[in-house]
Amino acid sequence: MFGVSQAAGDTSTQTGLLDGGGSNSGSSSSSSDVLPPAIGTRDESRTDLDSGDSHVFGSMAERGSSSSSDRSSTDTANMHGDESTRDSIRGDVSGTEDATADRDARNDDGSASHDARGSGGDDGGGRGDSDGDGARNDVSAYDSNGSATTAVNRRKNSSSDEDEDGDEGSGAGDGGVDGDGSGNDEGSGSGDAGGSDSTAATAANGTTTTTPGGRNVPGDQAVEPEDWGPEDSDCPRTNLTRLSKHCRVLRQICMHQETLVTHDWRYSYANPRREPLPDMPWVENWNFPATVGTNTDALKGRGPRYRLRLRPGSAFEPTAALREPVFSNCTLPLMIVADFPFNMGEFFAKVVSALDRLEMDDRVTLVLQTPMVLGLAAFHSLLLMPYSRYPAITAGELGSTGCNDCIGGGGGGGGGRSDPRVGGTQVGAGSRRAVPWSSEPVQPHCFRRMIMCKWDLQTGGGTPLAMVANRLVTAWVGAGLLPPSPVRFPGGSGRGGSDADPDPRGKSTLRVLIESRQGPVRNIKNMEELLAACKQLNRDGFSAGPFRHIACASTSFADSDGSVSRERFLANVAAVRSAHVLVVLHGAGATNSWFMRQGSSALVELRPCSFGTRFGGWPDKYMPKQHEKNDDVIRFFALNIEDLGQCLQGDIETSLRNHTARRDNVGWDASYFARDQHLQLKPGPFLEFVRHVGELLLDVQAYREARDADRLHGYVVPEGLMYGKLGITKLEEFRAASNPPVIPFL
């Protein structure tokens, strides 16, 4: 109807675009405590298909007549979980009533359009296909002219004529396009041609349920395999009932540029009982990744919130792939929607750890929703590498038209060719091409399922970061990606570690690696002076815990233009793994500390004047808490520089004050100014603090005792160096009240 190629009678279109993750996705049958829930079934007791998570995936039910401002405020409220503004997406699970009403629906020419769901079962009943949506592999729908159009679900191997979607063959009124309940296509009680694993059980109410492994169950309680997907070595098998509550499953969905096109009958304009389209999640917060060598937040670089559009299929689709959709069952995109997607620290802590917890099949295709169709950074592909055998892509790449749009308009034109993994002929397939992110022989544009996960600053996170970092390093080492360290320290022994990742540090020389930054903010201006003083200290005699020598080196984590290539990223990992102590200014460079050797490494974070005291709440909520939550496998130390003689204005603040920068292009924010100062460190207090780090480095109990005694972190004052707890916001008042000892330095 109206050009929607997906059959109105396809039962997959009756279960909704969005499936809730977790146990709420199960069937409501009384036997659910014995049998696993059907994937994609609905519980009649549920009132919200979003499982209470409509602050991420809301409904447009009450927004049809809203102004644009009302729409914006509603979206914002939904994002923040305001329950008073949540719109539930109710599914009608009245079984017989649904089937009867929909069978009575007429097409434009007066012919009956059968929804072929049959009677006596809810959306979860009477289905035996392994993905739980009951979709047939070859289904037909009557369009507005009464002619049948066909949507073929992509299959990996049709040579055996098996149903790759799993154990279909349910006779629950799924009588094919005839709508007569005879089951003469794939709805027969004995199962389809590929249902060698399946049997059908007929209940007293007339519904028939096919179950995997030949098990019969009463009534309309459908039993699905725990893992979803066709049994093919290249196809993902993922349990969609165990997704995070921040993830949802979109069904019968196509991707075109920045638009999602749903062929779900529930949302079709041809459906007189259609439901409102669900809201798509927003990228609420992000900074534009400009080539200025620093985060653009201080330059008012915050971008407008962004999301993909969602619409139903139409009568006038721009491409052949949308006009005659082929829904791939062997490519499962996992769409990642995240705040601050171009900040490596946020992406690692919020997205990668959450993805790790999902434990997805590595045959999924990872897709990052980047605002304005921006590309991926090098760190995106490397941090996501262990979680998919395919390269990560952007939503823009997933929705790219590809070569298939070289064909003409109208009906698709061009000669089609038979695809051995698709049970039919593709329109214009001769001009299509394969893509690296899918095992399909041609680029898929439409998908039986698409997972969409939204992880922001509040909802992101999952597996402990130290475990995630271990998995990443193991994957990079196993793939032979880590180069030798670009940093050369004197005194290394080369002992320890594994054959693939040897530990070059030794046990007698404390190796200190200092980040050297370029760009307009947060530079150490006297790096050469610090390195020379470190050499002199080693010659004069150094002792800290088990260490009897000290060696210092500097490295840059970015190229001169501020970018970080794939090669540079991997070299950074190799560099930090060759050091005991990593010294950085607050920023994304501190994320590299997670890739250090655990149990014998430390991070020292330098905070310019006022940033670790007056504005200490900002940096204190990141690295200190993260490392403590991860059992201090990387010891964290903060060195707060509170001597104005060692702090210099950042270039952005200077340009604002001397009027070389326009005020409306730069944020006048004292916290930004404090964070972005340059440092000119006095070698004495700095190296004394490094000695303090070396004393505690290999003794985690002593480290924790120092933290408990408020003697872990350092404050460089004009008189020298003092120790104290983290976050002394009013340092002068603290010193006057407690009179802490100060190690004097000139």
Say whether pLDDT at 80 is over 50: no
Cα gap 188→175, rounded to integer Å? 7
If pLDDT is split at 50, 70 and 90, which confidence band does 100 have? very low
pLDDT of residue 714 exceeding 50, the answer is yes
**pLDDT for 594 beyond 60:** yes
Q: Choose between 300 and 191: higher pLDDT.
A: 300
Amino acid letter, residue 703: Y
Higher per-residue confidence, 85 vs 696: 696
Find the range with the poorest average confidence among 31-45, 311-325, 449-463, 613-627: 31-45
From the list 348, 298, 570, the residue with the least C-alpha distance to 460 is 348
Distances (CA, A) of 143 to 7, 109, 310, 314: 9, 10, 22, 11
CA distance linking residue 195 with residue 192, whole number of Å: 5
Place of tokens 């791939």: 328
Query: What is the arithmetic mean of pLDDT over 650-663?
Result: 86
| pLDDT in the model for residue 457 | 86
Contact 583, 618 (CB under 8 A): no
Instruction: Fill in the amino acid letter for 398.
Output: L
* Burial label, 661 (beta-carbon count in 10 A; 0-12, 13-18, 19+): middle
pLDDT at 548: 97
Mean pLDDT, range 661-669, rounded to an integer:
80
Would you state the pLDDT for residue 231?
64
How far apart (Å, rounded) are the C-alpha atoms in residues 482 and 128? Answer: 46
Rg (CA), the chain: 30
Contacts of 641 (CB under 8 A, 6+ apart): 606, 607, 608, 609, 612, 647, 679, 681, 716
More confident of the two residues 54 and 508: 508
What confidence tens digit (pLDDT) does each residue in 604-653 have? 999 999 999 999 999 999 999 999 999 999 999 999 999 999 999 998 88
Q: Check whether 69 has a pLDDT greater than 90.
A: no
Residues in a beta bridge with 249: 19, 451
Domain limits of the chain? 242-455, 505-744
Helices (H), ranges, 644-738: 651-657, 670-675, 683-696, 700-708, 731-738
**pLDDT band with cut points at 50, 70 and 90 for residue 335:** very high
- What are 417's strand-pairing partners? 426
CATH number for domain 505-744, candidates 3.30.2320, 3.30.505, 1.10.12, 3.40.50: 3.40.50
Which pTM value belongs to this model?
Answer: 0.69
Confidence grade of residue 665 (pLDDT, cut at 50, 70, 90): confident
Q: For residue 721, what are the contacts with CB-CB under 8 A and spacing of at least 6?
A: 685, 688, 689, 714, 715, 742, 743, 745
The pLDDT of 107-131, averaged and rounded, is: 37
**CB 287 within 8 Å of CB 297:** yes
For residues 112-130, average pLDDT: 36
499 falls in which pLDDT band (50, 70, 90)?
low
Token readout for 710 is 């408020």
Write the DSSP symbol of residue 185.
T
Residue 180 has pLDDT above 70, yes or no: no
Question: What share of the chain has pLDDT > 70, as a percent?
Answer: 63
pLDDT beyond 60 at 203: no
Q: Return the pLDDT at 79.
A: 36
Helices (H), 251-299: none
pLDDT confidence bin for 118, thresholds 50/70/90: very low
More confident residue, 20 or 2: 20
Tell me the pLDDT band of 497, cut-offs 50, 70 and 90: low
- Cα gap 655→660, rounded to integer Å: 5
Question: Where on the phi/psi map is residue 213: left (φ > 0), alpha (ψ -120 to 50), or beta?
Answer: left
- Least confident piece of the model among 56-70, 207-221, 284-298, 682-696: 207-221
- The pLDDT assigned to 51 comes to 34
| 724, pLDDT greater than 60 | yes
Q: What is the mean pLDDT of residues 530-544?
A: 97
Q: 433-462: per-residue pLDDT in tens? A: 899 999 999 999 999 999 999 999 888 899
Give the tens place of pLDDT for each residue, 223-255.
334 345 556 677 998 788 788 889 999 999 999
- Other CB atoms within 10 Å distance of the CB of residue 427: 20
Alpha carbon 637 to chain centroid, angstroms? 30
Query: In the structure encoding, which two tokens stand for residue 196, read together?
Result: 């060698």
| pLDDT reported for residue 519 | 85
pLDDT above 90 covers a percentage of the chain that reads: 53
Q: How far apart are CA 426 and CA 437, in angstroms?
A: 20
Choose from 92-106, 151-165, 596-610 the range with maximum mean pLDDT.
Answer: 596-610
Dist CA 520 CA 49 (whole Å): 49
- Maximum average pLDDT range among 39-48, 414-423, 496-505, 733-742: 733-742
Worst-scoring range by mean pLDDT, 113-117, 338-342, 373-377, 671-675?
A: 113-117
Amino acid at the residue 300: K
Round to whole Å and give the CA distance between 175 and 208. Answer: 12
Burial environment of residue 684 by CB neighbours within 10 A (0 to 12, 13 to 18, 19 or more): middle
| Lowest pLDDT segment from 134-143, 351-360, 675-684 | 134-143
Q: Is the pLDDT of residue 557 over 60?
A: yes
Confidence class of residue 4 from pLDDT cuts 50, 70 and 90? Answer: very low
Q: 3-state class of 364 per DSSP?
A: coil
**Rounded to an integer, what distance in angstroms lies between the CA atom of residue 126 and that of residue 223?**
9
> What is the pLDDT, as a whole number, of residue 381?
98
How far apart CA 113 and CA 7 sit, in angstroms, is 9
**Mean per-residue pLDDT over the chain, rounded:** 73
C-alpha 51/C-alpha 22 separation (Å) is 9
What pLDDT score does 419 carry? Answer: 39
- Among 608, 607, 618, 544, which Cα is nearest to 581's? 544
Among 340-354, 411-425, 657-671, the range scoring the smallest mean pLDDT is: 411-425
103's tokens: 């069978």
Q: In Å, how far are 286, 292, 520, 652 from 663, measured between CA atoms?
A: 21, 18, 17, 11
Say whether 260 sits in a helix, a strand or coil. Answer: strand
Report the range out of 154-168, 414-428, 545-559 with the highest average pLDDT. 545-559
| Structure tokens, 129 | 């296909």
Confidence check: pLDDT of 670 > 60: yes
